[in-house]
Amino acid sequence: MIKKLDTLIIRSFIGPFFATFLISLFVLVMQFFWLYIDDLVGKGLDMGTISELIMYVSVSAVPLALPLAMLLSSIMTFGNLGETFELVAIKSAGIPLLRFMRPLLIVSLFITGIAFVFANNIIPVAQLKLATLKYDIIVAKPAFDIKEGTFYNQIRDFTIKIGKKEKDDSTIRNVIIFEKKYGLQDNMLIANNGIMRVTPDKKFLEFILRDGWRYEEKGQRQTLQTDYIRLGFKEYKKVLDLSTFKMIQTADSSFKYDPKMLSVRQLNVTIDSLKKTGNAFVKRSNAEISPLLNFTKYADTGWVAVDKSKLKVTDSFFKLIPDTIKVSVYDRAINQISAVRNTANILADEFSSKTKSLRYHEIEWHRKFTLSFACLVLFLIGAPLGSIIRKGGLGMPLVFSIIFFIIFHLFNTFGEKFVKEGVMSSFNGMWLSIMILLPISMFLIYKAMRDSQLFNQEFYYRSFGTAKKFITSFKKNK
């Protein structure tokens, strides 16, 4: 009987889980493309590159899609059981809530382990490939698109402005082309009209310009031996190279030091190294700043206390300096202080950079555990929540799933932001959402075990009606 019950619950869970996981993954992938739509449109990407990009984005979104799928599918599973009164039959047989939650609890633990292995071993590789491919796409020059009345500088060494384009998108008017050759002055072409077209092999852009002038200045810089040339033409052909529009594949090694591309073992090594570097900054500061201050060399020579009563009283220390060397003393002091300040600023910037890098590595270390553990916590929220609301399908479960997932995602984002700004420690910041949701899950389990009417509308209607009658009778008696 118990084995059949476990099989029934697991079968009821598998279908909604895979369906909600694919939906969540699709939404997260669409979110990525919506975010980078401006960098992707107009690049002339082939289907192979787009498919590769979708694959890497999908793999990278799995750790965030799994907790959402666990939450929604667990609410749907227990909501369906409650809506069909199977949950009532199970409870009437004397089986407590925790007992028929046990098979899915084991499944959620298994999924949590898979999520961690996935985040630790597969996600770093996918993130590395995604970062490389995304960089290549973004830095690739956009497809040829010159608009009217705007300066177009995406072709190397040239800036183009077209006053008007005819409907055929080839005939152009009021054309200005600046040619940068790093000489004395930019060369310039001005034409009243012309034709613009891309060669059939997509490698060159041709301009057939008519009724215009070419201005050019030749010679060496900072000399008078220069020539100014003005050339009028009836027709002039200008060919521009479009080879820079091609997407160049960057090596993966360019991004391998990003914290997102490291496993837990690699992060441990890097974090330990960064902590040691931070501890060595005190010694390094003393070693670099002390030589700039002459008085520090007397610090260990056995300083003898001086009787202040024997010192000559003066209004200012500067009166002790002879006038003949006062200017040189001032200049030397200023130079010495400037050197100390510059060295201190360099050390402070480097220490700040190391500290920031340490926080980013600690964030990624904790993220691998928090997103995995979130699968279990959101299941512990979804299972009792489904048994309380007793509604299946995608209506009420979807609403509650969105609410709790937004809470999880917001506090997870806030905690990460606090860690990056140094407001919270990496542990408190990255586990903030878990610390908030875990007590909520315990509360919902407690309510579900006692058949709470927490989300029952009729219960609130009855309570409101009772309160209304009490208030009415109280007013009459008064």
Per-residue pLDDT reduced to its tens digit, 91-114? 777 777 777 788 888 888 999 998
| pLDDT confidence band for 294 (50 / 70 / 90) | low
Cβ-based burial of 149 (10 A; exposed 0-12, middle 13-18, buried ≥19): exposed
Query: Is pLDDT above 80 for 163?
Result: yes
**Integer Rg of the chain from CA:** 36
Per-residue pLDDT reduced to its tens digit, 125-143? 888 888 878 777 765 544 4
Per-residue pLDDT reduced to its tens digit, 16-66? 889 888 988 998 888 888 887 766 766 667 788 888 888 888 888 888 888
381: nearest Cα among 436, 450, 456: 436
pTM of the predicted model, to two decimals?
0.64
In degrees and rounded to multiples of 5, residue 296 shows phi and psi of -70, -20
| pLDDT confidence band for 443 (50 / 70 / 90) | confident
**DSSP assignments along 244-301, one per residue:** GGSPPPPPGGGGTTSGGG--HHHHHHHHHHHHHHHHTHHHHHHHHHGGG-GGGGGTTS
- Give the range among 109-123, 336-350, 454-468 with minimum mean pLDDT: 454-468
